[in-house]
A and B are shown apart, each in its own frame.
Chain A
Amino acid sequence: MSAASNPFAPSLHELNKERITRRGRIITGLLALCLAVPVVLLLAVIFVEAMPVISLELIWGNATDKGRGGGLWGPLIGTFYLVITSVLIVSPLGVGAAIYLNEYAREGTATRIIGLAVTSLAGVPSIVHALFGLGAFVLFAGMGASVQAAACTIAVMNLPVVIAASREALGAVPRSFREACWNLGASRWQTIRTVVLPNAWSGILTGVILAVSRAAGEAAPILFTGAVFFKHVPDSGLARLLPYALDDTFMAMAMHLLVISTQVSNMPPERPFAAAFVLVALVLLINAAAIRMRMKLRNNRKW
């Protein structure tokens, strides 16, 4: 069929462009797959290697024989307390900072400097956070290696995460909501408390949940500020649920994984894989909850 008989047939030039586009689509699609496939593959490998030891005992039991047997209860409960304490510290500060930047401060040098500080904080390497935590909380503030020192270090690390998510959430609330309140005579804080915060709450919570997942996964900041490899956790009773005081050293999942994958001899290989699996599953579940919350928020928006 020559082009002359069908005036709408694509020309050579157009066919060429189509082919290039198709190639481009395939290449970028493959590159996108480069992201997706490794995740799934690696997680599958971890799961398969960990399978022999996955059981309820893994979660509930104490580690025995230097981690070669038993479960992960000590590190799990330690990570739990670390995360809770750290989130309790970072959430008011982060949300407060976001409120300040969005609702109170005027656009100008001050906000630019604060924005710069938040961005810089986000880029600080985790080992430098560890150095800071060691110098500031463990030594200077005299907290010693403890849950509180580690929690403060992680709180500083997570501050940009909470601030960014909260700012987005607060910014998404339409200005008209606030203006309506002001027209009724409410003060700035009253407006925020009654109208802005409740509408931004889900977005803020997303940020907090992301902070939770980061706090659970980080190892470097807690290495020198309070995490230890072995600490006795009682086998039963209330003390089993509350084994660490705020000024105590503690076990944590990230630390446990680090030590059992490098420093214990004759470690059956399923054990580090099991610890990695539990840690990844924990973090991914928390993140999935955040993603779901964000999707629901998008659907439930009243504006």
Chain B
Amino acid sequence: MVIRRVVVATLVAGISGAACAPEVTPRLSITMKGSDTLVQVATGWAEVYRAATDTVDVSASGGGSGTGIAGLIDGTVDVATSSREMKGEERESIRAKRGAEVHEHVVGLDALAIFVHPSNPIEHISLAELQRIWAEGGDLRDWSALTPGKSGKIVLLGRQNSSGTYDHFREVVCGKTAEGVHREFRGGVSELNGSSEVVEKIAKAPQALGYTGMGFNTPRVKWLAVSIRPGEPAVTPSIESVNSGAYPIARKLYLYTVGEPTPELRALLDWTLSPAGQAIVAQEGYVPAS
């Protein structure tokens, strides 16, 4: 009997709730979707911007740079966050489907860092070695070939195939064959759905080697200095090395919008480049766009 009353009461509450909700929250909503690299920055922006203005609601979600761009093509998101540059075909699709041009805004810089377990004796690595580890047809499988103090199969951790991080890393590290064909990743890489997952797993796996944005560094992992060829001076990821271009695997972080922005959208975009917005970028460990 009591349960019956409770059920009826909740049903009534639910119906009136679902029916009434639209009137109670009449604020403008801006959807920001895309890169997992940027999702924490975007969430930080959403939280702070909400407090800063009173009329705009920003909702932030991840899924990979590809998702955000896909949403932009479909018209289901307002702002696509992306950790890679938009491809030519994607710009074409937007021109075709939404009849307007894409606007690109650079909101920060990022370095793709190579992470290992803190117990791993290795300190630096070269792009040439990385290519032999990560690219299809590569021959470097064991730690003993990289550093004398360690042996065992290298366990590879990366991002999923729609991630801008995945795309950028493949382009820089796997490179091209002599015929100019771009190499794919080798099989057997754990394709993780979020950048922090990469770091979390490496922290627990002494045999692991992984890549992800520098913003995800934690005291529980360590990153390697990267040189272009073995024996050359290796560069650690940092604000300076990214800005100077010395770190070989750096990239820009983008926001994409379609067509002329509405005043609210324009205000949001300008705010992300303001000191307040950029402070959040820096707070998450990335390099501010200035």
Give the distance to chain A from B210, nearest Cβ to Cβ, in Å.
Answer: 13
Give the distance to chain A from B273, nearest Cβ to Cβ, in Å.
Answer: 21
Let me know if B195 and A265 touch, CB within 8 A.
yes
Answer whether residue B60 sits at the interface, using C-beta atoms and an 8 A cutoff: yes
Give the distance to chain B from A123, nearest Cβ to Cβ, in Å.
Answer: 26
Give the distance to chain A from B152, nearest Cβ to Cβ, in Å.
Answer: 26
**Selected contact of A88 from candidates B15, B36, B215, B216, CB within 8 Å:** B15
**Selected contact of A145 from candidates B21, B40, B76, B196, CB within 8 Å:** B76
Q: Given the complex of chains A and B, what is the CA–CA distance between A236 and B18 in angstroms?
A: 18
Give the distance to chain A from B284, nearest Cβ to Cβ, in Å.
Answer: 9
A84-B14, A239-B25, A263-B36 given as contacts; is B199 within 8 A of A230 (CB)? no
Answer whether residue A262 sits at the interface, using C-beta atoms and an 8 A cutoff: yes
Answer whether residue A244 sits at the interface, using C-beta atoms and an 8 A cutoff: yes
Answer whether residue B46 sits at the interface, using C-beta atoms and an 8 A cutoff: yes
**Selected contact of A147 from candidates B13, B18, B50, CB within 8 Å:** B18
A66-B40, A263-B197, A265-B196 given as contacts; is B11 within 8 A of A228 (CB)? no
**Selected contact of A84 from candidates B10, B60, B194, B218, CB within 8 Å:** B10
Answer whether residue B39 sits at the interface, using C-beta atoms and an 8 A cutoff: yes
Let me know if A266 and B59 touch, CB within 8 A.
no
Contact with A along B16-52 (1 / 0, CB 8 A): 0110111011000101000010011001101100100
In the complex formed, the residue of A with least CB distance to B24 is: A239
Let me know if A243 and B196 touch, CB within 8 A.
no
**Residues of the B chain whose Cβ atoms lie less than 8 Å from the Cβ of A133:** none
- How many of chain A's residues touch chain B, expressed as a range? 35 or more
**Residues of the B chain whose Cβ atoms lie less than 8 Å from the Cβ of A264:** 40, 194, 196
Let me know if A229 and B61 touch, CB within 8 A.
yes
Q: Given the complex of chains A and B, what is the CA–CA distance between A147 and B21 in angstroms?
A: 12
Give the distance to chain A from B261, nearest Cβ to Cβ, in Å.
Answer: 21
Q: Given the complex of chains A and B, what is the CA–CA distance between A208 and B4 in angstroms?
A: 12
**Selected contact of A246 from candidates B18, B44, B47, B59, CB within 8 Å:** B18
Q: Given the complex of chains A and B, what is the CA–CA distance between A242 and B195 in angstroms?
A: 33
**Can you show 16 pairs from A to B with CB atoms below 8 A apart?**
A66-B40, A84-B18, A144-B76, A147-B18, A228-B59, A229-B39, A232-B50, A232-B58, A242-B24, A245-B25, A246-B22, A263-B195, A264-B40, A265-B199, A265-B216, A293-B3
Contact with B along A233-245 (1 / 0, CB 8 A): 0100011011111
Let me know if B21 and A80 touch, CB within 8 A.
no
Answer whether residue A289 sits at the interface, using C-beta atoms and an 8 A cutoff: yes
Q: Is the interface of B mostly helix, strand, loop or mixed?
A: helix
Known: A243-B21, A263-B39, A265-B195. 14 other contacts (CB 8 A): A64-B47, A66-B44, A84-B11, A84-B14, A231-B59, A241-B17, A242-B25, A243-B25, A245-B21, A249-B31, A249-B59, A262-B197, A265-B200, A265-B216
Q: How many residues on chain B are close to A (CB under 8 Å)?
A: 43
Q: Given the complex of chains A and B, what is the CA–CA distance between A262 and B63 in angstroms?
A: 12
Give the distance to chain A from B47, nearest Cβ to Cβ, in Å.
Answer: 8
**Residues of the A chain whose Cβ atoms lie less than 8 Å from the Cβ of B39:** 229, 263
Residue positions of A touching B, CB distance < 8 A: 64, 66, 80-81, 84-85, 87-88, 144-145, 147, 205, 208-209, 228-232, 234, 238-239, 241-246, 248-249, 259, 262-267, 289, 293
Answer whether residue B7 sits at the interface, using C-beta atoms and an 8 A cutoff: yes
**Residues of the B chain whose Cβ atoms lie less than 8 Å from the Cβ of A265:** 40, 195-196, 199-200, 215-216, 218
**Residues of the A chain whose Cβ atoms lie less than 8 Å from the Cβ of B142:** none
Let me know if B61 and A244 touch, CB within 8 A.
no
Give the distance to chain B from A49, nearest Cβ to Cβ, in Å.
Answer: 16
Give the distance to chain A from B6, nearest Cβ to Cβ, in Å.
Answer: 9
**Selected contact of A267 from candidates B25, B43, B196, CB within 8 Å:** B196
**Selected contact of A229 from candidates B44, B62, B195, B197, CB within 8 Å:** B62
A289-B3, A293-B3 given as contacts; is B61 within 8 A of A228 (CB)? yes
Let me know if A230 and B24 touch, CB within 8 A.
no
Q: Given the complex of chains A and B, what is the CA–CA distance between A231 and B43 in angstroms?
A: 9
Q: Given the complex of chains A and B, what is the CA–CA distance between A205 and B18 in angstroms?
A: 22
Give the distance to chain B from A283, nearest Cβ to Cβ, in Å.
Answer: 16
Answer whether residue B193 sits at the interface, using C-beta atoms and an 8 A cutoff: yes
A66-B40, A81-B17 given as contacts; is B22 within 8 A of A230 (CB)? no
Let me know if B60 and A229 touch, CB within 8 A.
yes
Q: Given the complex of chains A and B, what is the CA–CA distance between A145 and B70 in angstroms?
A: 14
Q: What 9 A-B pairs come out closest when comparing CB atoms? A: A84-B14, A263-B194, A265-B196, A245-B21, A245-B22, A242-B21, A228-B61, A242-B17, A239-B24
**Residues of the A chain whose Cβ atoms lie less than 8 Å from the Cβ of B90:** none
Give the distance to chain B from A169, nearest Cβ to Cβ, in Å.
Answer: 15
Give the distance to chain B from A302, nearest Cβ to Cβ, in Å.
Answer: 16
